[in-house]
């Protein structure tokens, strides 16, 4: 008996395996008192909300602010313009537009309205009404060099009424980000419900040219080439006009005595 005990002790100390049944290793965890917590499925990620910001002060090192500052003391309108551009930039690449917890419509006017709301100014969500408002206020124009923050209106960017005829006014809007030395306008827009916010370009000095001599795009394709009817499709060709909607904030301040 003592010899058997010595053999067993030696097996334990040297790590040798003891022959015998291992059936107890297959005992379900519930039978041995172990509790295994079930894994919880990961929660779906919510889009980051965009919180309106107060108009940012002019930054003398920011080229945008330098371009907007036409006087030693910048006007309130130039501060608003800079904020509008920053707000529009904050929307780039987004597929969900949420401002202050409210999900806005995911289309071109919803994106422009979001940029204005983020800058402290609410506008209508109707493209035609917004253009009519600009005309009534005398801030609609067709200058070849618009200002940052201006709203850009387009006609016939798609067959809105589905009749196969190019008779669709006010089908698209964008917001001006900047204008370069050659007059090429960079705009921020949302081109469809299944697309993210992105940039497009337009040059009203050469509205029928897609690229310049160096091969750089100066007018983006705005109307889908699917089912092409042979009509215009570039931004410069479908351009309707601009609206300096941000100037309405100045008029509101003036009327309130600020």
Give the mean pLDDT of 44-61. Answer: 45
pTM for this predicted structure: 0.70
Q: 């537009």: which residue's tokens?
A: 97
The answer, yes or no, to whether residue 77 has pLDDT greater than 70, is no
Q: Is residue 42 part of a domain?
A: no
Provide the β-strand partners of residue 141: 242
In this predicted model, what pLDDT tens digit does every residue of 139-195 receive, in sequence order? 999 999 999 999 999 999 998 988 888 999 999 999 999 999 999 999 999 988 788
Res. 70 pLDDT band, cuts 50 70 90? very low
Q: Domain residues for 156? A: 63-255
Q: Is residue 25 part of a domain?
A: no
3-state secondary structure of 77: helix
- Cα separation of 50 and 56, whole Å? 16
Q: Is residue 125 part of a domain?
A: yes
Q: Is residue 54 part of a domain?
A: no
3-state secondary structure of 211: strand
Q: Is residue 134 part of a domain?
A: yes
The larger pLDDT score, comparing residue 46 to residue 112, is at 112
Q: Is residue 55 part of a domain?
A: no
CATH of the domain at 82: 3.90.1720.10
Domain count, the chain: 1
Exposed / middle / buried, residue 227 (Cβ in 10 Å: 0-12, 13-18, 19+): exposed
Q: Is residue 189 part of a domain?
A: yes
3-state secondary structure of 48: coil
Least confident of 16-30, 127-141, 175-189: 16-30
Q: Is residue 141 part of a domain?
A: yes
């Amino acid at each position: 008996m003592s010899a058997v005990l010595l053999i067993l002790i030696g097996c334990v100390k040297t790590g040798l395996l003891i022959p015998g049944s291992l059936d107890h290793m297959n005992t379900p965890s519930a039978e041995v008192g172990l509790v295994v917590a079930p894994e919880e499925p990961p929660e779906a990620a919510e889009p980051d909300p965009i919180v309106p910001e107060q108009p940012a002060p002019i930054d003398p090192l920011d080229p945008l602010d330098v371009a907007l500052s036409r006087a030693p003391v910048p006007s309130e309108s130039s501060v608003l313009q800079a904020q509008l551009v920053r707000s529009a930039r904050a929307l780039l690449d987004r597929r969900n537009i949420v401002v202050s917890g409210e999900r806005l419509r995911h289309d071109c006017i919803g994106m422009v309205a979001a940029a204005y709301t983020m800058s402290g100014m609410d506008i209508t969500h109707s493209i035609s009404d917004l253009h009519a408002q600009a005309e009534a206020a005398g801030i609609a124009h067709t200058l070849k060099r618009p200002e940052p923050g201006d709203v850009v209106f387009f006609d016939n960017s798609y067959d809105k009424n589905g009749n196969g005829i190019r008779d669709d006014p006010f089908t698209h809007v964008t917001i001006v980000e900047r204008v370069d030395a050659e007059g090429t306008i960079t705009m921020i827009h949302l081109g469809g419900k299944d697309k993210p916010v992105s940039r497009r370009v337009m040059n009203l000095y050469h509205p029928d040219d897609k690229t310049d001599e160096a091969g750089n795009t100066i007018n983006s394709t705005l109307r889908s080439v699917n089912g092409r009817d042979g009509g215009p499709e570039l931004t410069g060709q479908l351009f309707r006009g601009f609206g300096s909607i941000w100037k309405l904030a100045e008029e509101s301040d003036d009327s309130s005595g600020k």
